[in-house]
Structure 1
Amino acid sequence: MKQFIGLVLLLLNQSCVTKETTTYIAFSSCNDPENSLAVLPTLSEALDTIPTFVWLGDNVYLKDGEWDNLDRIRDRYKVSFQPELIQEILSKGTHFAIWDDHDAGPNDCDASFAGMDKTMLVFKEFWKPSYPMPNDKSYYGSVALEEGQVELFFLDNRSFRVHHDSSGATVFGEVQLKWLESAYKRSDALFKIILMGGQFLNTAQVFDNVSRFPNERNRLIDLMVNDSAVPIVLSGDRHHGELNTLDSYGKLIFETTASPLTSRNFAHHEEENLTRLHPGTTETNHFGVLGLTRIGDSITGVKMSLIGEGGTVLFSSRETNFK
């Protein structure tokens, strides 16, 4: 009898070890509900089973005359999130957020914008980030999910930004970068996900792409390549969506750009991006879904998808080859 019980326990233990687990995260950016709510019913349905949603910046579009007045900033948040469908979405699962220029102030604003103390205050009031934030003038920090198997790193691409044509050009600033390097190396997560506003891998040096800051881009690539975790970037900003990967010294870096959720679309089909996995970009409102699959501590899959109205899969890619 003891031998039989021992055999049963052994089989149960093996079953637990070999069970495949998938973590799903949904995300998007660029929320201007005055434009279109068409994709929101699909997102709401998806969040019935996906526990985490990340707002990747331009979650509100502050207008001239609003960003220097706390009451007007708060009113803009109310208008942007008052539609019933958005309230329904916010009621489901856990929501995280980063910001970009339109949450922070004027279009393309950077550290020289004097009103960021007010916009940061309201950003934190609304989103209520509960993770440790090492800099009270920003929200950057990290959150571990799935008992530490997945970690999200929230980056601030506006508070410390210096224009790419300026001396000392930077997206994230030295203090934030050093924090990221330390936190990233300290993490034991299997999947490490960096969240930022502008695109990271896209090689076209246009708009707010990090490729306009090559030293900083290379520094972050080195950080990801010299780590055992699967490196993933989720980004927004562009008013188009696309899937990107970069193979650097045999290490695959993944990026999904999801934009816009409800704002206007601007397709960039002909943009010379050497890391895009498919012809062209999206040209309709959408959100992204990331699927991270593992068996115990073994990584078995990363799936990136962009989903449009009615559940239409606009682009999708799955990688299963992990050494």
Structure 2
Amino acid sequence: MRKLGFGSCNNQHKAQDVWKAIRKEKLDLWVWLGDVVYADRQSIIPFIWRSPQMDEMRETYHYQKNSKFYQAFQKICPIIGVWDDHDYGKNDGGGEYEHKETAKEIFLDFLDTPKDAQQYQHNGVYASYSYGPIGKKVKVILLDVRYFKTEEEILGEEQWLWLEKELKDSDAQVHLIGSGTQILTTDKPFCDKWSEKEIERLSLIIKTHSVPGVILLSGDVHHAEILKDSCDELDYPLYEITSSGMTHSFYSQATILGEWAVKYFLTSERRLGVYARQNYGTILFDWETPAVTLQIHSDDGELVLEQVVPLGHLRKGGDGVLEKGGCVLNYGWMNWKLIPKSTAKLFLFIPIFVPIILILFWAQKTFLKKNNDKQKTS
């Protein structure tokens, strides 16, 4: 394994030019991290989505698969992936989704997954893949954050036990753990993410079994980000790289206001860098140094974020610097963890749509006044 690419949030009805830049990367592997397509339908009311009929979902995946840019890329690069909510079929959906088995079949067909593959042997679409020889082995573990999700947890016990076994029994030097939602951003408002309890369980598994080279990959949030958890309860620092918004982003949806919100409002103490426009990610493996390089590129291929991580920093007793007291995050003047996501979205709804409602009210009032004046003069 020399170079791996990844991305998420790909609206099949928006421009697919990003694939031109991705093709030039000459990747050894592409990893989807959710929202491969937008199978559900957005209503005229913000943040409200309608789940698709299954024939609609099949048509949506077929449309993306037959995109000329995606077809050209498929011919030169192997592709694996996992879903998030919009390709799952229900916005913010979880284990309660009634069509999840059919959605699973459609998703795996899109990826050309063989019928004897591991995903067909259990619930959900989680899976693991290994690449390269001993000493230069990379293990990619993709987690399903939708199929088992409840109000209390994301992965479900079945998947947790599988994940621990995959890490405990691994002989890889690098472990890439992919999640459709972000993991380390527990202090970021509004977004889907893991809880502190779940991060602690993952950290305990890594520490108990002395798993080296763990790096987290994620999508979902319509911007790119590199994060680092340096809590001194870990064996080594935990890095996360998020690539989200291949066809749309906070900037494309709300221009400068969206970019400002990502940089100064939707932030995290664990953040090392952020990019609010359309993007995709790559990871470079240098087995001579040895080190991994985490990269974010704009949709035209420009390198916009980069973090070099020596593999010697990602093992027990290694050179990675941990911070005493870095385990407790500061949630600022308001603890966003206590606000339900549905309620939190009202904070976004109010400043955007209240002015529009006021303008419409003023226009109606002006129109009625003109009509009344006209009737008086006639």
What is the CA distance between 1:208 and its match in structure 2? 4.4
Match of 2:22 among 43, 46, 71: 43
Residues 208 and 225 from structure 1, CA distance in 2 versus in 1: closer, same or farther, beyond 3 angstroms? farther
Report the counterpart of residue 17 of structure 1 in structure 2. Answer: none
What is the CA distance between 1:246 and its match in structure 2? 1.5
Report the counterpart of residue 255 of structure 1 in structure 2. Answer: 240
TM-score by length of 2: 0.71
Kindly report which structure 2 residues correspond to 1:45-64, keeping only aligned pairs within 5 A, or say none. Answer: 45-46=24-25, 49-64=26-41
Residues 134 and 90 from structure 1, CA distance in 2 versus in 1: closer, same or farther, beyond 3 angstroms? closer
Residues 61 and 186 from structure 1, CA distance in 2 versus in 1: closer, same or farther, beyond 3 angstroms? same
Matches of 2:192 and 2:300 in 1, distance apart? 30
- Say if 1:245 and 1:252, in contact at 8 Å, map to a contact too: yes
Report the counterpart of residue 217 of structure 1 in structure 2. Answer: 199
Matches of 1:38 and 1:133 in 2, distance apart? 31
Highest Rg: 1 or 2? 2
- Say if 2:50 and 2:90, in contact at 8 Å, map to a contact too: no
Is 1:142 aligned with 2:122?
no
More helix by share: 2
What is the CA distance between 1:252 and its match in structure 2? 1.7
Kindly report which structure 2 residues correspond to 1:251-290, keeping only aligned pairs within 5 A, or say none. Answer: 251-265=236-250, 267=259, 268-270=262-264, 271-278=266-273, 281-290=274-283
Residues 28 and 119 from structure 1, CA distance in 2 versus in 1: closer, same or farther, beyond 3 angstroms? same
What is the CA distance between 1:68 and its match in structure 2? 5.4
Report the counterpart of residue 166 of structure 1 in structure 2. Answer: none
Aligned residue-pair number:
289
Supply the AA of the counterpart residue of 2:290: T
Matches of 1:234 and 1:274 in 2, distance apart? 18
Report the counterpart of residue 190 of structure 1 in structure 2. Answer: 173
Is 1:26 aligned with 2:5?
yes
Aligned sequence identity (%):
24
Any idea what SS the aligned residue of 1:122 has? helix
Report the counterpart of residue 98 of structure 1 in structure 2. Answer: 82
Query: For each residue in 1:170-200, what CA deviation from the matched residue of structure 2 results, as whole angstroms up to 9, or x when unmatched?
Result: 0101110111011111111000111110001
TM-score by length of 1: 0.83
Kindly report which structure 2 residues correspond to 1:80-99, keeping only aligned pairs within 5 A, or say none. Answer: 80-99=64-83
Matches of 1:208 and 1:162 in 2, distance apart? 16
Report the counterpart of residue 316 of structure 1 in structure 2. Answer: 306
Is 1:155 aligned with 2:140?
no
What is the CA distance between 1:248 and its match in structure 2? 3.4
More strand by share: 1
Query: For each residue in 1:291-317, what CA deviation from the matched residue of structure 2 results, as whole angstroms up to 9, or x when unmatched?
Result: 12224xxx7212100011332111111
Is 1:74 aligned with 2:74?
no
Residues 306 and 82 from structure 1, CA distance in 2 versus in 1: closer, same or farther, beyond 3 angstroms? same
Supply the AA of the counterpart residue of 1:303: T
> Which consecutive residues of structure 2, in runs of 5 or more, have no partner in the other structure?
42-48, 251-257, 319-378
Supply the AA of the counterpart residue of 1:198: T
- Say if 1:120 and 1:138, in contact at 8 Å, map to a contact too: yes
- Say if 2:32 and 2:81, in contact at 8 Å, map to a contact too: yes
